[in-house]
Homo-oligomer: A and B are copies of this chain.
Amino acid sequence: MTNFVFQNPTKLIFGKNSISSLSGEISKENRILITFGGGSVKNNGVYEQVINSLKGYTFFEFWGIEANPDIETLRKAIILGKEKNCDFVLAVGGGSVIDGSKLIAAGIPYEGDAWEIVKKRDFTKEKVLPLGTVLTLPATGSEMNAGAVISNRIAKEKFAFYSRYPQFSILDPLTTFTLPKFQIACGLADTFIHVMEQYLTTPGQSPLMDRWSEGILQTIVEISPKVLSNPEDYDSMATFMLSATMALNGFVSMGVSQDWATHMIGHELTALHGLTHGHTLTILLPGTMWVMRKEKGDKILQYGQRVWGISGTDRELTISKIIEKTEEFFRSLGLKTRLSENGAGEETINEIVRRFEQRDVHFGENRSVNAAVTRQILERVI
């Protein structure tokens, strides 16, 4: 087990009708910038609950943070926050709204341009405004971690940066009942693959973390058919919501090496093609497993046996079966697993490889996923 430091101070307020507890978490002295996505919260009652809970508070609304939040949009929110002297940011929405709001919370007290914050990557020690969240879409885990991924559509770029953990996050599973099936499927895939990025390296680095990761994977496999067929099944949606948060809040990565190559390549696919984040991952994880099967073989076998009950005497055949099963699972969610199904092809591959050559990337737990290996991964799932 490698040495590690763990601290996650976010207060999680979880359950039915928990949005009403919002007022207890923010001071009436605060000047709140409330940030929203496209407006679905006006149809499902979330907006009303938030506003009702904040009666008597001073707040300003910023609407229109898009999926894969764009730096242009966030700059506008930062200007509003500065103008209104806001000193608290409340994000109401999914991972994109929360990610964007992390940049807004960092950008309001910052004097330079917000894209500089993203480029600094580590903003954990700088001054940022406190952030609270009301989560409406289980997927990214952003509600309980310090990371955020920001897009720059003009430059066709997408990068992660790290600032502060949300002070609190309110998770009411009832808010997920009206989600479109496709978003639920992407959220399930995103959760699953967040775990895989922290898990699929070598066995036994931290046996308890292996078990906890497998626990999330098993749970997602178990509840997926239920939440897809009945998104008003409270207990299953609550389990999905809790799993998504626990998949990327540091709880399953204590003392282990991590991969994240799938995400790094996936961000490029989103930047170039606008693909939904979860959807890029269902294409790229199987590709990564096929190409990295030598390095990851022992862990793939452990995963296959513990999560899918697949074992066998022929090592290579068993590994292949396990990767096929993983791809099959993603397809059972109604998601695609090939580039060509999403309108991407050789041109996209060439551009990603060109960028990775230029940046001289080395992703993965062994830093072995460079531009050439990325080409193999992408060609495998074309």
Partner-B contacts on A (CB < 8 A)? 1-16, 18, 173, 204, 206-208, 211-212, 214-216, 218-219, 222-223, 234-235, 238-239, 242-243, 246, 251, 254-255
Contact = CB atoms under 8 A, between A and B. Distances in A.
A9 B12 contact: no
A16 B214 CA distance: 26
Contacts of A9: 7, 9
A14 B208 contact: no
Q: List the number of copies, as a whole number.
A: 2
A238 B255 contact: yes
A1, A9, A173, most chain B CB atoms within 10 A? A1
Nearest to A208: B219
A146 B214 CA distance: 29
Contact of A208 (B6, B10, B242): B242
Nearest to A13: B5
Given A208-B242, A239-B206, A5 B1 contact: no
Nearest to A14: B4
Contacts of A207: 219, 222-223, 239
Contacts of A3: 14-16, 18
A5 B16 contact: no
Contacts of A204: 235
A35 to B, nearest CB: 23
A255 B14 contact: yes
A49 to B, nearest CB: 15
A21 to B, nearest CB: 8
A242 B209 CA distance: 9
A254 B216 CA distance: 14
A226 to B, nearest CB: 10
Given A1-B239, A215-B214, A235-B1, A12 B7 contact: yes
18 contacts: A1-B173, A1-B235, A1-B238, A1-B239, A4-B12, A6-B12, A7-B9, A7-B10, A7-B11, A9-B9, A14-B255, A206-B238, A206-B239, A208-B239, A208-B243, A211-B212, A211-B214, A211-B219
A166 to B, nearest CB: 11
A208 B214 contact: no
Contacts of A10: 7
